[in-house]
Structure 1
Amino acid sequence: MNPLILLTLGATLLACVLLVLGLRAYAAGRAQRAALIERLTASGAPDAPGRRRRFRAVDRRLRTTALGRRIGLKLAVTGLDLTVGEFFVYMVAAVAGIWLIASSFLAPFFGPVAGLIGLWAANAFLNWQRARRTDRFVNQLPDLARILANATQAGLALRTAIGMAAEELEAPAGEELARVADRLAVGHSIEEALGEIAERLPSRELVVLVSTLVLSARAGGAIVDSLRNLTVTLEQRKETRREIRTQLSQVTVTAYLVPVLGFGSLLLVDSMMPGALDRMTGSVVGQSAVLVALGLFAVGFVLIRRLSKIDV
């Protein structure tokens, strides 16, 4: 037989063998990845180990999409004990319920509007949880700085002091510092580990603390004196934030009262004149008027919230 033919057959056979091996390796990798995701989602959060997770199939498919990744990032920051699939299913069920209730009690036109408001409310809920967790973490910063100052004054390294603070402080500071300690244990630098917290829970106080620790780790210096001075400053800022929040509580209630008054007026009109909302939304002019009114209520809510937001 011609040697060229033998060489061609041998190369073809080798290519087929490599293709089969590559497909087997690819399938094994996908199976291992799916098993790892299922094991991680089934294990639960540290505060609720072994909790049975629901909607695993939805969670696995949703995590591969851009929407699922965005929801996962927000859930990771909020600290909620929910998977992406669970939150998505609960959100869809809530939006569908709000849609049906609005269509039944008001008018069919208000169903899609209520659904959009429900989607906005779900995103606002995640943002509120993140802000709430950030505020709780900021309130723990004076205690964190005090623990780090005492530990470093006793001669402990900064990495050891961070691990000690993670054990002594409650959530969310304890959980976040535990992540930092784990990253430091596998070889990450202090700047990288602390910088991740500043990105997850952004605040001016945390940025100042992280900058102080990073600069002290780089260039050395009187870290104890810096941390003690920072502790006093954080305590003062904590009291100032509390006073401002108390003084602006009435404005905050007013911001949420504005859309409630609008919804109450719709219910009042429908109770006084049954079927008035159906007739009003039965024409293009009425629908446009309702949308303009809803837009004005939304603008009023946003403006009041902006006016009541004071950065300290």
Structure 2
Amino acid sequence: MDDFALPTLGATLLTCVFAVMGVHVYATGKAQRQAVVDRLSTTGRIPTVGRRRRFRGVDRRMRQTRYGKKLDNRLAATGLDLTVGEFTAYTSFLAAGLWFLGSSALASFFGPIAGLLGIWAAFAFLNWQRGRRNEKFVNQLPELSRILANATEAGLALRTALSMAADELEAPAGEELGKVADKLSVGHAIDDALAELTDRLPSRELVVLVTTLVLSNRAGGTVVGSLRNLTVTLEERKETRREVRTQLSQVNMTAFAVPLLGLGALLLMDQVMPGSLDKMTSSPLGQGAVIIALGLYALGFFLIRRMSKIDV
């Protein structure tokens, strides 16, 4: 026993020394990181306020994949304060909850269908939020064109005019132009920065405005007259889009009412005849009929939305 006492004591002391060194290195690194964050926050390169991010491990793993990078671009276009990991986790919780709700409220066969519906609803919400933000940005384009025209007429450079517009306009135009101004400040070309803007928020109006700015920047000369005429055109298109959207509001509501009527019919059937859905989905013939019915409802929704989509 005495032969093992000395090596054990030595190993214990060595472990304690390594532990103290590890704690010291960790504390030093944490202090240095905080000092860097404080210095950058003072210069404005890192925002001083922000919420604590959740699911950081999931977010780190998702960003390393191609799907995670595409999803990150989609989230950036929506303007939502969500990371890839948070969106993935929340979508998984939603799908699991709808799976359980569909299985318990209807029948076990409807559980996977409800889960897939939850995933589709999450991505449909992203598309809706992106379209809503894009629509709001398009409505701000006349004011943006007016600001650029006034700044150009006053003799300011295009880079300065874009920075001034980013400060004066509200979100989302202010945020997007702020990104463009940040890229220009670190040496990016105007063509590349504006091209990335059109990729994030695609629209015909923005393409026309960006093309006008890029051509004037390349060829030189005055662009005030073009921007003045473009402002009037954008105002007219804004009013036209508003009228078309008002006329098609009833058709869009019909598209959502059709599948809701089918879901209401299923719930009513289960309430009138308890257990009927379990009996119907217990056979392959009943399952096939349910799948065909759901497919027809989805086809009706798609066709109505397609017919009511008018590009102005």
Q: TM-score range by the shorter chain?
A: 0.7 to 0.9
Distance 1:277 1:148 in 2: 62
* Structure-1 residue corresponding to 2:132: 132
1:100-119 correspondence runs (5 A): 100-119=100-119
Q: Is the 8 A contact 2:94 2:119 kept in 1?
A: no
Distance (whole Å) between structure 2 residues aligned to residue 250 and residue 47 of structure 1: 43
Coordinate RMSD, CA, aligned:
1.7
**What is the match of residue 278 of structure 1?**
278
Superposed CA offset, 1:223-259 (max 9, x none) = 0000000000000000000000000000000000011
In 2: Cα distance, 1:281 partner to 1:49 partner: 52
Identity between Structure 1 and Structure 2 (%): 69
Cα distance between partner residues in 2 of 1:81 and 1:195: 24
Aligned to 2:295: 295
**Residues 204-223 of structure 1 mapped to structure 2, 5 A cutoff:** 204-223=204-223
Q: Which amino acid aligns with 2:311?
A: D
In the alignment, which residue of structure 2 is the partner of 1:30?
none
* Equivalent AA in structure 1 for residue 51 of structure 2: R
Alignment correspondent of 1:305: 305
Show the counterpart of 1:152.
152
Q: CA deviation at 1:49?
A: 2.7
Unaligned runs of 5+ in 2: 1-32
The structural deviation recorded for 1:66 is: 2.5
Residue 27 of structure 2 aligns with which residue? Answer: none
Q: Which runs of 5+ in 1 are unaligned?
A: 1-34
Structure-1 residue corresponding to 2:243: 243
**Is 1:141 matched up with 2:141?**
yes
One-letter amino acid of the structure 2 residue matched with residue 142 of structure 1: P
Letter in 2 for 1:105: A
SS at match of 1:254: helix
Distance 1:179 1:248 in 2: 34
Report the counterpart of residue 192 of structure 1 in structure 2: 192
Q: How does 1:225-264 map to 2 (within 5 A)?
A: 225-264=225-264
- Amino acid of the residue matched to residue 61 of structure 1? R
Please, what TM-score do these two structures have when normalized by structure 1?
0.84
Equivalenced residue count is 271
CA distance in 2, matches of 1:101, 1:66: 32
- Mapped to 2, the partners of 1:184 and 1:47 lie a distance apart of 20
* Letter of the 2:161 counterpart: A
Task: For residue 47 of structure 1, report the CA deviation from its aligned partner.
Answer: 8.5
Specify whether residues 47 and 264 from structure 1 end up closer, same or farther in structure 2 by C-alpha distance, changes over 3 A only: farther
1:160 to 1:79, Cα distance in 2 relative to 1, 3 A: same
Deviation, structure 1 residue 48: 8.7
Deviations 1:42-89 (A, max 9, x none): x9xx89933111111111122112232222111111111011111111
Which residue number corresponds to residue 26 of structure 1? Answer: none
- Determine whether 1:66 maps to 2:62: no
Deviations 1:26-48 (A, max 9, x none): xxxxxxxxx9xxx9xxx9xx899
Residue identity in the other structure for 2:98: I
- Going from structure 1 to structure 2, the CA distance change for 1:307 and 1:171 (only over 3 Å counts) comes to same
Classify the secondary structure of the residue corresponding to 2:64. coil
Contact kept, 8 Å, 2:99 with 2:115, in 1: the verdict is yes
After TM superposition, the runs of 4+ consecutive aligned structure 1 residues lying more than 4 A away are none
